[in-house]
Amino acid sequence: MSTTSPSRRSSTQHLADIVVTAAESSQKINNQIFNIAQLRVSNMQIHGRDDDIKLLRSKLRDLAEKKDVGDEEYVAKSRAGEMVLVSGTSGTGKSALIHKGLGNPAAKSGYIFASGKFEDKFHRPLSAFSDAMTRLAKFITVDHNKMGKLSSGGQSIATLIRNKIQNEFEVEDAKQLRRVLPGCAELLGLGSRRRSKFSSFLCPSSHAAKEALFRSAPQLGSAKRRLQVSLALAGKESIAKMHYAVRRLLKIICSHLKGVVLFIDDLQWSDTATLDLLKSIVLDGEIPSLLIVGAYREDEVPDHHPLAFHIRELEQMNMSITKIKIGNLGVGYAIPLVAEALGMDDDDSKVKTLAETIHKKTEGNPFFILMFLRSLYDEKLLQYNFGVMKWTWDEDAVNSKIVTENVATVLVNKMNRLQEKTQRMLMVASCLGATFRLSAVMTVMKNISRVEMMDSMRASMRSVLGTAAAMGSSSASLLVLDLSNACEDQDGSDSSYASSIEEFEEEGLCEVDNEECRFMHDQIQSAAFELINPEQRDSFRGRIGNILLLSLSPEELEASLFEVVGLLNCAASNATDEERDELARMNLKAGIKASENAAFDTAKVYFKTGCEALGSRGWEGDYRAMLDLCSHGANACFVTGDFDSMNELIDEVLSKDIDTKEKYRVSDIKVNSLHNIGKFNESVNAALDFNRQLGLPAPRKKPASKFTIIREYIRVKKLLKDKTAEDIANLPELDNELYEMGQRMNEYLATCIYRVEPTMLPLIVFQSVTTVLKHGLSPSSSPGFAGLGLLLCGPFGKPHEGREMAKAAELILEKPGMRSRATYTIFITQCFCYHWTSPLHDTIEPLLEGYQIGVEIGDNGRACNCLLFRKFHLFFTGRALDSIQKELEATIQVMTQLKQDAHKLQITTLLTTVKKLRGIDAEAGDEILVSTLATAASNGDSLLSATVNLMKLEVFVFHQEWKKAIDLVRKAGNVRLFLTALFASVRYTFLEALTYVRAAQSATGWKKRQMKKCAHQTIQVLRGWAKNGNVNVVHYLYILDAELAVLDGKNKKAKDKFNAAITTSSRNGFLHDRALAHELASAYFKAQGDDYWGSYQIECSKRCYQEWGCIGKVEQLM
């Protein structure tokens, strides 16, 4: 028990309080003095950029205006994508300008400013964009209370956004987004899954991470599994699907926020995947209140740089890009910068002299101005004089230093003045990236030899000081390391690094935020990297990668896979064969992960590195890994357009003596690539050859005889028996990888055969349907039965049976796993099947839906097919030409955006026709059509040739140029064959018949009889279609019957048929055909001497042509 009295205790406590208060006061004064005597080199004002800041802030006001205008005006404004690009050399303050000009005012105005930065030495796909989206998601999910409550329902904006996203995204789409944007996992409703770089370290077993990684690498199991993997890696589809998903995500987020600014820094180091994604976002006119801002070093972006290419491409598409170019500061702005750093007046003569001197040496580069000031301070040439309460310096000493030192050595010399331990930590940190975690640095420091670190560091110091010395080669092994070999001079605890971490901040080198650390500038990271001996840099980085590989948990390793593999690849040249095998598999894993993120440029590098690691011994050793590397590599090369490398990899696999099924993936890529570049004959040959190697039926590439077609049709008919569409859709699933491969090849064959040898199409379709009926359903079954519907509706003349098969195709799509062919199926059913028994107008909306679904699932090629033929159907139904022209011009932009140049020729053909009918650029249009025909002939593209001939015939008929029309019909050949089942074939048949009738009317003798016979034969085809329920040809037949009556001199019948043609075309909505019927009727009445009715009919014709927008024709009739 204490014997101290209460009064004594009170007195003691009072004395203690006085001491504590005095100490705190002294500490506060010391802190103030310390702050006064410190240079201010961060969080400074922006000097000399007032106009640039005003321009940037005007962009925020533009976002607010778009949000405030009415709905229709807002939609119109928001459809114009916009981007701000700030360029300049390193150190000119691009990032600071954007943060000050946009970041700070955005936060004050209630906008979200989220940024990400690319790095020079690391190539994590979409890294900067992913980091920016992570910060955006964090603001929504963590800081959402700052956004307040909604007026209705009481939900926070964050909850509303999260619910909207989770309701609109299917699980698979959300999972794909999580792979690409891991920081958005919680927002996507998939649970928080920490994936930040090096989040924690040192699991109990150091080899567990490596083993888990290799276990998770794609093992070659059954051929069926390999087929599924290859089909999942349809590269261009995955890119399109990812772009669409990201745009949908941004649309949801931005529609609920006042405004969002995404800033992507250092675009000169961006991967192509990010540039493509940013372009897709900017071109999407439906993302509200979003501003994309980028910064890049202009001197590192030459004309051939991917960024320069993307900028030119956006400008060619009339996208608004605000460019801000900043340079070094003039001396007038360098003075206030130096004055602010010193806390002195900028009109002080000594400050001006110092600033002018530094400006001459640095050429006004803001970053180097501040670094020179800091170096003067470090060397005690710049000191704070508490007597006069200002900074003082010896001008002669300063001038001497500035004359003898160049800018490049300032930072390196600064590094060499740091503590040894700090230098070693900086060496490690420089290899981990511009942003790194302190725990990562400490883990490496604890598990790498101090002797080796010192050797590397001292070698670099001797190099800087000009005293070269020979260095021994590193004995580091790539994948073998004794983790117990720790530094000898430390206790290994985290606290032993505290002084170095403090020095990071005190010296203005890094910004430390708890566990995360960031170099203040790229130049500082580069200077830290310069501490490493150039001869040992690769092996040093390899050692760091190895330590992380052995220390990370499986989850951490998966999150940091690209960084770890990148570090290990640096030391690949020193690896043993066993280590190379493991390195190859790690690159395979990284490449597949990059492919899943739709970053195929990056993936291609990993696959190539993996192949090089295995070398020529790969096929004799781990041939399965080599096969995967070549197959995935070929796919990545195909997607990125590197066809030479693609063909080398394909040929390498095809030349090996392995199972044919193992060659499926590269064969699939080969066939697909040939199809995509328009080499349809070569694509057909490759597909048929592969099916033969599989032992599957494959017809010879030659015109199929009617006997063969009928024989195969009878066989299919027997298999079908009385099966309904529902019966077909309920067939079991195909469970044989060989037939799955064959079905995939048949898809390519059907598409290409239609263009080059349509008589073979029935054989391919019958083969596909037979496989389904005998072995079960696969994703290829839906387009297979749609193709059967095509044949039944078109060549076989059984449209009602064809509709039943089209229905079966649609029902198959509803089965699990079949949706990938939705757009393809819609395209076939709407373009080839339904118009035979339904109004053509009814196909227009479904084709638009097919386009939208295609964009959503990544099937851009078929999506553009739907869009293309929708435009043709609009034309064939007589939609106003000016609106069609606008849609066509917009469609060309869309196809450019989606990189579907193969469809442009057909779109251009239709656009040229529309312009000619409107009286615009007629001569130029003729040249375009001639050029397109030549291209079609060189590519063996009979479908394109037939389309051009149809469009030329349209112009000849409407312009009443009957001699040109009959010449075209005679020379063009069997155009209908190459337009099989399309409505274009119906339209051509009508125009062909009308041309024959008009030719007969002006001919005599045997020529007249020949033309009349041809007309009757062609008209008979139209009658057969009408008899089978084709409502779209009724008015065609009335027009043709009227002209036949004129030819035969049957005046009453001619009048009745002309009236019926006009009435029917008007009632069914074919405005252009009504105009033609009026014009033909006028010619008839005038030939009969009935000027009244002739004039009446021509006036009606002109009104219809005027309404249609056929201005050229109206002028002709004047």
Per-residue pLDDT tens digits for 511-555 = 888 778 888 888 888 888 888 888 888 889 998 998 998 888 888
Is residue 241 pLDDT above 90, yes or no? no
Task: Give the mean pLDDT of 557-575.
Answer: 89
What is the average pLDDT across 660-670? 92
Asked whether residue 412 carries a pLDDT value surpassing 90, the answer given is no
Taking Cα atoms as reference points, which of 459, 653, 615 lies closest to residue 537?
459
Q: Which two tokens stand for residue 510?
A: 């890094």
Please give the average per-residue pLDDT across 708-725, as a whole number. 93
- CA quadruple 457, 459, 460, 466: dihedral, nearest 10: 150
The span from the CA of 765 to the CA of 761, in Å, is 6
Residue pair 613/258 in contact (Cβ under 8 Å)? The answer is no
Give the amino acid at 128.
Answer: A
b/e 360-388 (16+ beta carbons within 10 angstroms → b): ebbebbbbbbbbbbbbbbbeebbebeeee
Comparing 271 with 80, the larger pLDDT belongs to: 271
Whether the predicted pLDDT of 701 surpasses 70: yes
pLDDT value, residue 207 = 39
Alpha helix stretches (DSSP H) within 37-111: 50-68, 71-78, 94-98, 104-108
pLDDT of res. 516:
82
Beta bridge partners of 384: 391
Residue identified by tokens 């796919």 is 635
**What is the arithmetic mean of pLDDT over 288-312?**
91
For position 491, what pLDDT does the model report?
47
**pLDDT band per the 50, 70, 90 thresholds, residue 17:** low
Predicted confidence at residue 468, as pLDDT, reads 30
Residue 494: band (very low, low, confident or very high) from pLDDT cuts 50, 70, 90: low
Tell me how far the alpha carbon of residue 408 is from its chain's centroid.
38
Confidence class for position 1058, pLDDT limits 50, 70, 90: very high
Give the three-class secondary structure for 320.
strand
- Report the DSSP pairing between strands 516-519 and 435-437: antiparallel
CA angle 886, 888, 894 (to 5 degrees): 110
The 10 Å CB-count burial string (b at 16+, else e) for 862-894 is bbbbbbbbbbbbbbbbbbebeebbebbeebbeb
Using the structure block, give the residue that is written with the tokens 């994948």.
Answer: 479
Give the mean pLDDT of the chain: 83
pLDDT at 486: 39
Classify each residue of 195-207 as buried b or exposed e, where b means 16 or more C-beta atoms within 10 Å of its C-beta.
Answer: bbbbbbbebeebe
| 92 to 87, 179, 324, 328: CA distances (angstroms) | 9, 35, 12, 6
With beta carbons less than 8 A apart as the criterion, state whether 654 and 668 touch.
Answer: no
Separate counts of helices (H) and strands (E) for the chain: 54, 10
- The band of 819, judged by pLDDT with boundaries at 50, 70 and 90, is confident
**Is pLDDT at 1114 greater than 90 in this prediction?**
no
pLDDT of residue 474: 33
At 165 the pLDDT is 86
Distance CA 69, CA 128 (A): 32
CB 981 within 8 A of CB 793: yes
- Residue 291: what pLDDT? 92
Q: Show the tokens assigned to 666.
A: 């590269």
pLDDT of residue 407: 58
More confident residue, 568 or 158: 568
- Percent of the chain scoring above 90 in pLDDT: 47
Q: Say if residue 897's pLDDT is above 80.
A: no
Q: For residue 297, what are the β-bridge partners?
A: 88
pLDDT of 452 > 90? The answer is no
Amino acid at position 461, single letter = M
Q: What is the mean pLDDT of residues 967-986?
A: 93
